[in-house]
Structure 1
Amino acid sequence: MASRSEQFKTPALVRAAFVDGLFEVVTDDRGSKSWTCSLLIPKSDSLAAYEKAAVEAAAAEWGGNEKAIKMIKDKIIHSPFLDGDGPQGKSKKTGEPHAGFPGHWFLRVKSGEAYRPTLIDRKKLPITSRDQLYSGCYGYAVLHCFTWENKEKGKGLTFGLDMFQVAKDGDRLGGGGGVDVDKWAEEIPDEGAAPDSTKSGAGAGGLFG
């Protein structure tokens, strides 16, 4: 059975991409149905909070922090952090980078079919329209990390999406579980820069490099 970390809120704004999967269930090549999108994190931002959750989940599943960290560093566990400047950040059809992906790490976040993520606006009201949440807008997410294992790919980590709160608009990129809203969300002004404290991390060049 998969292990998972505690929920946490992204410490800085993330950018949503491929959000069609938050409005229509996606079926993968293994027949698994889920709600899904990608979250873009600038490479200048710290990934410490994400890495902490990843180690927590891996340690619970595979035998403690030290063993989990070694497995991660030895790449025995597939990393959930994908490089927007690498092959996974490019279109398989054209080879061109996906819009907005260069200069970012990205996470393919997902939630099982029975646990649609909570989607809310700046005032904590439910999002009902794709015009309110589109590929390219910015927000804060509530996530958890979970483990997985299968014969084809081995062991890995993925981030589950529990909530996304839109914080501000951005240029459209194209493409397209319950959570306690009052615990994680607050009303957000229309504009606001991320604090300097979120821009000092080494990113996935650290534990997951």
Structure 2
Amino acid sequence: MASRSQDVKTPLAVLSFSADLFKARERDNGSKGYGCTLLFPKTVSLAALQEAALSAATEEWGDKAKQWIKDGIIKSPFLDGDGKQGLNQKTGERHKGYAGHTFIRCTSGADYKPTVVDKRRNPIVDAGDVPSGSQVYAVVNAYTWENEKNGKGISYGVSLVQVAKVAQGEEILGGGGGPDPDKFFEVIDDEGDAPASTKSGEGAAGLFG
């Protein structure tokens, strides 16, 4: 049975595939669900996200999880925008905005549509109001998975997204129940990174490359 970390708030991220937050789509395995991709500049600390991933992996596979992550036995959720993972599988071209970033793919089941809110925590219901390339904070959790085809891995679920800045012009990229927004999101007056309180997790530093 998959293990799940506690919910954590991400640093400021660039949102990609934003339409999937509003309309469930069919996945490769035939299931349907919501999701998005979150891009982080490689200069930004992802310690809290790494700690969540390590927590879920350790709960599922015990103390050996650390070494398995280092050895690549457990597939990392942190993907390289400068590598093959940042390329469009159909065209072979690099997705716009992915260079220089680490990214994570986030999912949510068909019965658990993520909540999307604006700076004032007002709900956003129209995908057109949040184009890919917008800057957001998100509440995510790490969870483990294992199957015969792909082995072992860690992925992220997404439950809440707060839009800090709507993408304009060249910034735009192509391409149910849950936590209370009031618990995680402050009213945003100024743009900036996540509060220092979200940047914990030194125990996972270095494990995910």
Q: Please, what TM-score do these two structures have when normalized by structure 2?
A: 0.90
Q: Is the 8 A contact 1:15 1:137 kept in 2?
A: yes
The separation in 2 between residues aligned to 1:34 and 1:194, in whole angstroms, is 29
The separation in 1 between residues aligned to 2:69 and 2:166, in whole angstroms, is 35
The separation in 1 between residues aligned to 2:31 and 2:119, in whole angstroms, is 32
Corresponding residue of 2:48: 49
The separation in 2 between residues aligned to 1:123 and 1:83, in whole angstroms, is 32
Corresponding residue of 1:159: 156
Corresponding residue of 2:136: 139
Number of aligned positions between the proteins: 202
Q: Deviations over 1:95-140 (max 9, x none)?
A: 2110110000000100111111111111101101123211000011
1:118 matched to 2:130: no
Helix, strand or coil: the match of 1:58? helix
- Give 4+ residue runs of structure 1 displaced > 3 Å after superposition: 195-199
Corresponding residue of 1:60: 59
Q: Is the 8 A contact 2:22 2:113 kept in 1?
A: no
Q: Please, what TM-score do these two structures have when normalized by structure 1?
A: 0.90
Corresponding residue of 1:207: 207
1:105 matched to 2:108: no
1:80 matched to 2:71: no
Q: Measure how far apart 1:195 and its partner are.
A: 7.2
* Identity across the alignment (%): 50
Q: Measure how far apart 1:7 and its partner are.
A: 0.4
Q: Measure how far apart 1:194 and its partner are.
A: 2.8
Which residue identity is paired with 2:206?
G
Corresponding residue of 2:165: 168
Q: Is the 8 A contact 1:121 1:132 kept in 2?
A: no
Corresponding residue of 1:186: 186
Which residue identity is paired with 1:106?
F
Q: Deviations over 1:147-205 (max 9, x none)?
A: 01111001100011010000112311122x4121110111112x423379799x99x99
Which residue identity is paired with 1:139?
V
Corresponding residue of 2:36: 37
Q: Is the 8 A contact 1:43 1:105 kept in 2?
A: yes
Which residue identity is paired with 1:172?
I
Q: Is the 8 A contact 2:139 2:159 kept in 1?
A: yes
Q: Is the 8 A contact 1:22 1:35 kept in 2?
A: yes
Q: Measure how far apart 1:206 and its partner are.
A: 2.0
| Cα gap change, 1:164 to 1:195, in 2 (>3 Å) | closer
Q: 1:69 aligns with which of 57, 66, 70?
A: 66
